[in-house]
Structure 1
Amino acid sequence: MEYVVIAVALLVLLIVGAVAYVVPKRRRELPPSVPGTTGTEVLERPPTPAVEPEAEPEVEPGLVEPPAVVEPEPAVETPPAPVIETPEPTAGRLTRLRARLSRSQNSLGRGLLALLSRDKLDDDTWDEVEESLIRADVGVGPTQELVERLRTQARVLGTGSADELRKLLAEELTNALEPSLDRSLTATAEGRPAVVLVVGVNGSGKTTTCGKIGRVLVADGRTVMFGAADTFRAAAAEQLATWAGRVGAEVVRGPEGGDPAAVAFDAVKRGIETRVDTVVIDTAGRLQNKIGLMDELGKVKRVVERHGPVDETLLVLDATTGQNGLEQARVFTEVVNVTGVVLTKLDGTAKGGIVIAVQRKLGIPVKLVGLGEGPDDLAPFEPAQFVEALLATDA
């Protein structure tokens, strides 16, 4: 019996020892975490690391459109309506601008009056009168004729007082300006717009004069269309558009360096469509000795005449150029048949006699004169008022 007890005790010790040996070994071999492991023992797992959010995949440009950002629409500012100006009436402009002729009065007006007011009108005095007129650009031929008539009148009529001599001088100067010449502008035509072609050399103020001519026509109740056929000077079309906008007129223009004749043609066509009274066409400034350019000016006139005749061709002359303006005028008349002269910058010269010289040599009337830089300082030329302004003692 003791042997049995001892055997059982030894067996129990063997079993306990075996279990103590096997269980730790198995515990070392098992992985930290085996999904689905069953058993009474709970295996401790290592702490789970914090899971960082996955970065969004990069999207190649153009594959996915980003969400539209709705921004508030900016307030639209309505541009102010252009201010349409009302040009000053043309009637009496020359009289209102008489003070602008003060420089011309020095030689052509007051200078002559001072000479004729001397107590004795001898040969030396008349020679001085002649020199004064020549310096004023009246020209040699017209001056000799004018002085001869004055001497005859003074001698025959026995005129001696300053007032009488002033009246006599005014009459002779007015006659020299040929008041019978037609100085009106042809601003309307039957069934179509009247076409006014404006020509002249560089630097004469031609484009500005075009704008002022438009104001003269608007002041007289006409509707106007402008043609910017000076395509070789970049600022010319913009300058003309500025003048047109001030009187509510339209401008037809072409590409820079384009065909001037095509622009002029389109301007007249547009004028016919809109039924305006007058189409004023600005042309490129040209030197009179450039044959190719002068031929081009002739082309402009011929192309425009497909719509109808050119009613006016106005030559813009700078009064400060003096006798040189006569040669310019002569060549232009051979190309385009000038119908009238616009004499600019007359307020800036002491040589107002150029008005007489131009008319006497060319037989072309001076129709408009520029007496300042203001928009309405272009005045219809009236010989009697012009002479009165020259001889005025209160200007």
Structure 2
Amino acid sequence: MADTGWVMEIVILAVVIALVAVGAISGLVVSGRKKKQLPPSAPSSTPTITAPPAEPHVGDEAAEPKEEPRRTIEEVELPKATAPVEEAEPEVVEELPKTEIEVPEPTAGRLVRLRARLARSQNSLGKGLLSLLSREHLDEDTWEEIEDTLLTADVGVQPTQELVERLRERVKVLGTRTPEELRTLLREELLALVGTDFDRQVKTEKEGDTPGIVMVVGVNGTGKTTTTGKLARVLVADGSTVVLGAADTFRAAAADQLQTWGERVGAYTVRGPEGGDPASVAFDAVKEGKEMGVDVVLIDTAGRLHTKTGLMDELGKVKRVVEKHAPLDEVLLVLDATTGQNGLVQARVFAEVVDITGIVLTKLDGTAKGGIVVAVQRELGVPVKLVGLGEGPDDLAPFEPEAFVDALIGD
């Protein structure tokens, strides 16, 4: 019986342990199921947000702001400024003054008025010759010095030889040589050398509805555009109306420069795109001049190197295109007087491409040598018609042989 009781206790204990184990396992399962279940859904009308909303993306509509009581200006406290902030004054835009039309100085006798300036730099030629001719004995060495003086002044070999021969003959006949007699003698011979029988007037006659057409050509750096602008002033001073053609389309700001010159005297400027066709601009300038009924059309061409065949051919094209309207009245070649004999090489090449009708000598003041007037006329067979004697707007003057020779000899 004792054994039976012990067995029963063991069975009861095993049953209890089994029940406890089953209860524990059931609790774990229920607990796991509860964690996986979602919370009960709330009614859609009153959503409960437990986290801050994300920032709206581009294109999303912003939520309507909640109604809050508005405060008046008096109730809002502004932050105290640490330092007074000065308000910037509004920028005042000044209107540019309109370009006033200038009245150029009359051209009649302009070279005479500029004689003193020309004489300061040119009379070394005249004074040198007078000093040599005044020597008591004119031997071969003296005549060689006279030759050298003329050649140094860029008169040229052939004109120099001619002048020396005439001086020799006249001095021999003259006998006594007072300063006044020598001055008169030298003036007469230099005047004959420069030439008084040339027609030096710039031809700008208008025929019917066709204005006079003047084309200005030359090498880079000779002051061609400036000369064209000054020539416009010369023509306006003489009572003509002018249209300017800015056919120098390759040099930056050349058209602006020419237009500025034109605006000063009331001349209209025809221009084209930078780097455009110069012949087209020249053609349009003549067309505008005819429609406006002006007296003269001045065409400024791009500077051409006399060694560049292609550029020179293009210059010939500009001339041919312009002549579809009417023949050119003048083709003026601008030469830098300081280039001396090199200017003659340039002149020769230009004359082969276009028919040069006149010469404009710039920079004849300063270190220039007046003999270039004689040399270039001999080279081309055309007259010097205008000379530039300074940087002023009215320092371009019609060439007057008498005034020029008087400046060479000096007082």
- The TM-score bracket by the shorter chain reads 0.7 to 0.9
Pair 1:262-2:280 in alignment: yes
Q: Which residue, 362, 369, 372 being the options, matches 1:354?
A: 372
Which whole-Å CA distance do the structure 1 matches of 2:368 and 2:256 have between them? Answer: 33
Residue matched to 2:114: 97
TM-superposed deviation, 1:275: 0.5
Residue matched to 1:312: 330
Pair 1:224-2:242 in alignment: yes
CA distance 1:131–1:77, shift in 2 (3 Å): closer
Alignment of 1:35-184 (within 5 A): 52=68, 79-102=96-119, 104-184=121-201
Which whole-Å CA distance do the structure 2 matches of 1:294 and 1:200 have between them? Answer: 10
Pair 1:301-2:353 in alignment: no
Contact kept, 8 Å, 1:230 with 1:282, in 2: the verdict is: yes
Query: What TM-score, normalized by structure 1, do the two folds share?
Result: 0.79
Query: Any idea what SS the aligned residue of 2:332 has?
Result: strand
Deviations along 1:324-359, whole A, 9 cap, x unmatched? 000100111111100000000000224110000001
TM-superposed deviation, 1:90: 0.7
Amino acid at match of 2:389: L
TM-superposed deviation, 1:189: 2.2
Query: Any idea what SS the aligned residue of 1:348 has?
Result: coil
Residue matched to 1:341: 359
Amino acid at match of 2:373: V
TM-superposed deviation, 1:112: 1.2
Query: Any idea what SS the aligned residue of 1:180 has?
Result: coil
Contact kept, 8 Å, 1:106 with 1:350, in 2: the verdict is: no
TM-superposed deviation, 1:104: 4.0
TM-superposed deviation, 1:114: 1.5
Residue matched to 2:297: 279
Query: Any idea what SS the aligned residue of 1:390 has?
Result: helix
Amino acid at match of 2:151: I
Which whole-Å CA distance do the structure 1 matches of 2:93 and 2:221 have between them? Answer: 42
TM-superposed deviation, 1:157: 2.3
Which whole-Å CA distance do the structure 2 matches of 1:158 and 1:248 have between them? Answer: 59
Contact kept, 8 Å, 1:107 with 1:136, in 2: the verdict is: no
Deviations along 1:4-45, whole A, 9 cap, x unmatched? xxxxxxxxxxxxxxxxxxxxxxxxxxxxxxxxxxxxxxxxxx
Query: Any idea what SS the aligned residue of 1:314 has?
Result: strand
Q: Which residue, 180, 190, 201 being the options, matches 2:207?
A: 190
TM-superposed deviation, 1:119: 2.3
Amino acid at match of 2:332: L
Query: What TM-score, normalized by structure 2, do the two folds share?
Result: 0.76
CA distance 1:245–1:133, shift in 2 (3 Å): same
Q: Unpaired runs of 5+ in structure 1?
A: 1-49, 55-73
Query: Any idea what SS the aligned residue of 1:84 has?
Result: coil
Runs of 4+ in 1 over 4 A off after TM superposition: 74-79
Q: Unpaired runs of 5+ in structure 2?
A: 1-65, 71-90
- Number of residue pairs the alignment of both structures matches: 325
